[in-house]
């Protein structure tokens, strides 16, 4: 690993990681990590978290087919007690489970599209139970497009408008 950066709020991801490859013309590999933390104590925690916007993620893969967008799922428990001197609560967060998923390999049935915000949000139905399906970037973009077009709020004309705006058609 040659670089780690915390990314700014409202970025596609939370953390940027860069690795140096040995003896390769593409010497640096960059991965963006989106961290999703959920509570072990709440049954509904981890259900349908927003990952990123449809237009943002699709554009990233069109711009760079080798783009790596990893979702890091952390399940935690929090333990706390009142500090007798300060009267404040002291807490410890323990990570009890974790998973990491390459976004483009998350199965069709585990990804959903919520049209509510902007160009829509890509969501994971349950961040703790994900099935992996190997696919190409082209197949991934096609799957995202199908989910976008399946929404009652979206049409081919609205897709074409986004495609022209973001340069998806080459």
Please give the residue range of the domain that contains residue 96: 3-166
- What is the rounded distance in angstroms from the CA atom of residue 20 to the CA atom of residue 2? 6
Strand 3-6 relative to strand 15-20: parallel, antiparallel, unpaired?
antiparallel
* Number of domains observed in the structure of the chain: 1
* pLDDT band (50, 70, 90) for residue 24: low
> Hey, how many other C-beta atoms are within 10 angstroms of the C-beta on 146?
11
**27-33 average pLDDT score:** 89
Please give, one letter per residue, the 3-state secondary structure of the chain. Answer: CCEEEECCCCCCCCEEEEEECCCCCCCEEEEEEEEEEEECCCCCCCECCEEEEHHHHHHHHHHCCCCEEEEEEEEEEEEEEECCCCCCEEEEEEEEEEEEEEHHHECHHHEEEECCCCCCEEEECECCCCCECCCCHHHHHHHHHHHHHHCCCCCHHHHHHHHHHHCCCC
- Structure tokens that stand for 105 in this block: 């390999």
pLDDT at res. 23: 67
Q: How do residues 38-47 score in pLDDT, each as one tens digit?
A: 888 777 676 7
| Residues contacting 10, CB < 8 A, separation 6+ | none
Q: How do residues 68-99 score in pLDDT, each as one tens digit?
A: 999 999 988 888 899 999 999 998 889 989 99
- What is the rounded distance in angstroms from the CA atom of residue 20 to the CA atom of residue 22? 7
Q: Look-up: residue for tokens 């404040």?
A: 88
Q: Reply yes or no on whether the pLDDT at 101 is more than 90.
A: yes
Q: Reply yes or no on whether the pLDDT at 124 is more than 70.
A: yes
Percent of residues, the chain, with pLDDT higher than 70: 96
- For the whole prediction, is pTM greater than 0.85? no
């Amino acid at each position: 690993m040659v670089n780690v950066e915390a990314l700014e709020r409202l970025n596609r991801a939370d953390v940027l990681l860069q690795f140096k490859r040995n003896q390769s013309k593409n010497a640096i590999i960059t991965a963006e990590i989106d961290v999703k933390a959920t509570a072990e104590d709440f049954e509904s925690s981890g259900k349908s978290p927003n990952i990123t916007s449809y237009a943002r993620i699709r554009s990233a893969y069109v711009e760079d087919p080798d783009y790596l967008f990893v979702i890091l799922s952390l399940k935690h428990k929090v333990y706390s007690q009142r500090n007798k001197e300060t009267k404040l609560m002291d807490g410890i967060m323990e990570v009890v489970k974790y998973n990491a998923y390459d976004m483009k390999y998350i199965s069709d049935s585990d990804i959903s599209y919520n049209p509510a915000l902007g160009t829509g949000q890509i969501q994971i139905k349950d961040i703790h139970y994900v099935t992996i399906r190997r696919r190409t970037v082209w197949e991934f973009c096609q799957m995202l497009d199908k989910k976008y077009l399946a929404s009652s709020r979206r049409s081919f004309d609205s897709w074409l408008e986004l495609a022209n705006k973001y340069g998806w058609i080459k």
